[in-house]
Amino acid sequence: MRIGIDIGGTHTDGVLIAGTRLVAAAKAPTNHDNLLESISAVLQAILTDQDPARVQTLNLSTTLTTNAIVTGRIDPVGMLVVGGPGIAAKHYRIGEHFHLIYGSLDHLGTETSALDEQDLEEAINACCEQGVKCFGVASKFSPRNPAHEDRIREELGDRADFVSLGHLISGQLNFGRRIHTVYYNSAVWRTFRAFAGALAASLQGFDLQAEVNILKADGGAVPLTRAMDAPVQSIFSGPAASVMGILATCTADADLLMLDIGGTTSDIALFAGGEPLLEREGIAIEGRPTLVRAIRVESIGIGGDSLIHLDGAEVKTGPQRLGPCMATGGSAPSLMDALNVLGLADFGQTERSREGLEALAAQHHLEARTLAQAAVDAALNAIAAKIETLVRMVNSKPVYTIHEILEDREITPKKLIVIGGPAAVFKELLAARLGMEVIVPPLHGVANAIGAALARATSHLALTANTSRGQLSAPMLGIFRAIPRGFSLQDAIDEARRLLKADLEQAGVTIAAEEIQITQADAFNMVDGSYTSGKNIRVVAQVRPAVVARLELDAAAVPVRFAGQS
């Protein structure tokens, strides 16, 4: 059996799945001050009358790291950055404790200037005097030679609680993205560690001995123990769970759109030939590009609890949220209240929705139904504009799916799949506004949790080999070793497969060899004077995101239980 839990901005959803059959499903309000309370509530609901010993896997998608960054509840990070020639590292300055350390490597990883030990010691002392205990370390070209980063970690010693090293974050050479990534990874580490520890203790209370995984932004799962070293990978795992939920519950074999309508925001994703699109280089966090691989998802501040307000004579919906809709005890009218007033929904205490809309309408000399219709139209227009922009942007540059790059083909979605609690209410509205077929899956209300439950473990690595120097590196695994001069591209491909498989097995994940894809395999001759001196080889291997099973869809057989209710 598998458990999937999705911690959303408004609700926490949980499902229990046996093979391809849904056994139980539950929802609970998300308590952002105590996420474990919400997790425990849905676990209690879905494990009622079940044997916890049968649960082998628990996959969790969480807003924890995203919320920590958005709300500023992150640790200060001492950034120790080694630049050298080329684009100046100062252009990537981030955080309040950013220090440049003199030293440099060339593009092959050869040290051209040694680290300035005095620079390093002064920077570490400055951070420690200001109470900084988490550090991010990035050296230009460290994926080719980690010596400078390793030396800095050695010098930090027990003065640091946690250190993120750039070469372990990614095998890519993008220096600016690597700086941003190690910063955010260290900034959320303490928050994530505290959550992971409390989660482990909480699960023991349910007699669960399951393998616990966290969903990554690329839609794959990673063991909780590994996520402790790279918590930034869990950012935006909620939208990734939505996409995996589509793969687990729908027939996705054409160009199509996904809309996940939540209480606070809605997420939009585009599928090309049934494959989700991937931010191949990495997503941006707070506008800063990183090396965090992620499924391409656009968010918009429109949800069931989006605030209705007027800007002069213009009626607007969202992006603000002042709590739940009035129908469930909120203090200000929201989109769901407008749907109640128009008779399109029958949610909660509809009389409170009517009273709230009437009061707001009276302030602006409007009728309540007129205001409600304008609010719904504003939400639909915002969603339509976001979809149009996404499709246009995607078609303006090369597109990567989780499987491969698509070239010379325009993506033209004709179908929209809508999930989330209010999905059914929006079906006809969206069909009329967008002029396309709209589908609401039977289990739309818990699709995210289903996607989390059925997501398989994934990983990737980049391997480079320089036969002229007789060197091989797989930076994300910390592997740097010698190779013979006759090392070939096929040797590199075989080694990449072997290393990735062994690394997953070390984490307790067994994967078939054929599931490992080679997404890049290049070899270039290196010339020294008039002679070929060797080859520069680069291979990228991945286990792509996928679901382990397609769910049997029988929504009537398993009602969604609201935690705390019978």
Q: Write phi, then psi, for 397 (nearest 5 degrees).
A: -155, 170
Q: Which segment of 228-232, 407-411, 515-519, 537-541 scores lowest on mean pLDDT?
A: 407-411
pTM of the model: 0.88
Gap between the Cα atoms of 401 and 270, Å rounded = 10
CATH number for 75-185 (one of 2.40.30, 3.40.50, 3.90.1070, 3.40.1350): it is 3.40.50
Q: In this structure, which amino acid lies at residue 452?
A: A
Q: Which of 133, 126, 129, 128 is nearest to 75 (CA)?
A: 133
Rounded CA-CA distance 69/236 in Å is: 11
Pick from 151, 171, 146: nearest CA to 459:
171
Equal CATH topology for 2-70+191-242+555-562 and 253-440: yes
DSSP per-residue codes, 165-179: EHHHH-S---HHHHH
- Mean pLDDT score of the chain: 90
Q: Is the pLDDT of residue 566 over 60?
A: no
DSSP reduced 3-state for 292: coil
CA distance 321 to 337: 13
Provide mean pLDDT across the span 320-326.
90
Residues 6+ apart with CB under 8 A from 9: 30, 63, 262, 263, 264, 265, 303
Report the 10 Å Cβ neighbour count for 427. Answer: 16
* Residue of 448, 435, 360 whose CA lies nearest to 63: 448
Query: For residues 417 and 271, what is the distance between their CA atoms, to the nearest angstrom?
Result: 11
DSSP 238-267: HHHHHHHHHHHHS---SSEEEEEE-SS-EE
Q: Which two tokens stand for residue 455?
A: 């997501």
Rounded to whole angstroms, the Cα distance separating 46 from 208 reads 13
Q: How far apart are CA 527 and CA 529, in angstroms?
A: 6
User: What is the architecture, at CATH level 2, of domain 253-440?
Assistant: 2-Layer Sandwich (3.30)
- How far apart CA 256 and CA 248 sit, in angstroms, is 15
| Res. 302: pLDDT tops 90 | yes
Cβ count within 10 A of residue 285? 22
Q: What 3-state class would DSSP assign to 301?
A: coil
Contacts of 396 (CB under 8 A, 6+ apart): none
Beta bridge partners of 136: 79, 164
Two tokens, residue 481: 């070793």
Residues 6+ apart with CB under 8 A from 169: 178, 181, 182, 185, 230, 291, 476
Distance, first Cα to last Cα, the chain: 23
- What's the DSSP call for residue 307? B
Which structure tokens are listed for 162?
A: 């946690």
**Average pLDDT value for residue range 337-345:** 96
Helix (DSSP H) and strand (DSSP E) numbers for the chain: 15, 32
Torsion sign across C-alpha atoms 169, 235, 157, 225: negative
- Cα–Cα distance for residue pair 469/533, rounded to 1 Å: 9
pLDDT (mean) for 504-524? 85
**Predicted pLDDT of residue 546:** 87
CA distance 334 to 326: 7
Domain locations in the chain as residue ranges: 2-70+191-242+555-562, 75-185, 253-440, 459-543
Joined tokens for residue 305: 């609890």
Q: Looking at the predicted structure, is the pLDDT value of residue 389 above 50?
A: yes
Q: Which CATH superfamily hosts domain 2-70+191-242+555-562?
A: ATPase, nucleotide binding domain (3.30.420.40)
Helices (H), 205-323: 224-227, 237-249
Q: Which contiguous run of DSSP H or E holds residue 439?
A: strand 437-439
pLDDT in tens, 15-69: 999 999 999 999 998 887 888 899 999 999 999 999 999 999 999 998 788 878 8
- Give φ, ψ of 503 to 5 degrees: -65, -40
The per-residue pLDDT for range 244-258, each reduced to its tens digit, is 999 999 887 889 999
Q: Which of 103, 147, 161, 152 is nearest to 123 (CA)?
A: 152
- At 412, which amino acid appears? T
Q: Taking residues 432-444, report their average pLDDT.
A: 93
**Across 315-342, average pLDDT:** 93
Query: Taking Cα atoms as reference points, which of 553, 516, 521, 549 lies closest to residue 535?
Result: 521
The region of weakest confidence among 126-130, 477-481, 555-559 is: 555-559
Helix, strand, coil share (%) of the chain residues, nearest 5? 35, 30, 35
**Full DSSP string of 515-562:** GEEEEEEEEEEEEETTEEEEEEEEEEEEE---BS-PPP--GGGSPEEE
Query: How confident is the model over 153-204, as pLDDT tens digits?
Result: 999 999 999 999 999 988 788 899 999 999 999 999 999 998 888 888 888 8
Query: What count of other Cβ atoms lies within 10 Å of the Cβ of residue 107?
Result: 11
**Residue 313 phi/psi, 5° resolution?**
-95, -5
pLDDT of 559 strictly over 80 = no
530: region left, alpha or beta (phi > 0 left; psi from -120 to 50 alpha) = alpha
**Local structure of 462: helix, strand or coil:** strand
What 8-state DSSP symbol labels residue 323?
S
Instruction: List the structure tokens of 144.
Output: 């080719």
Please compute the mean of the pLDDT values over residues 298-310 and round it to a whole number: 92
What is the rounded CA–CA span in Å between residue 226 and residue 320?
35
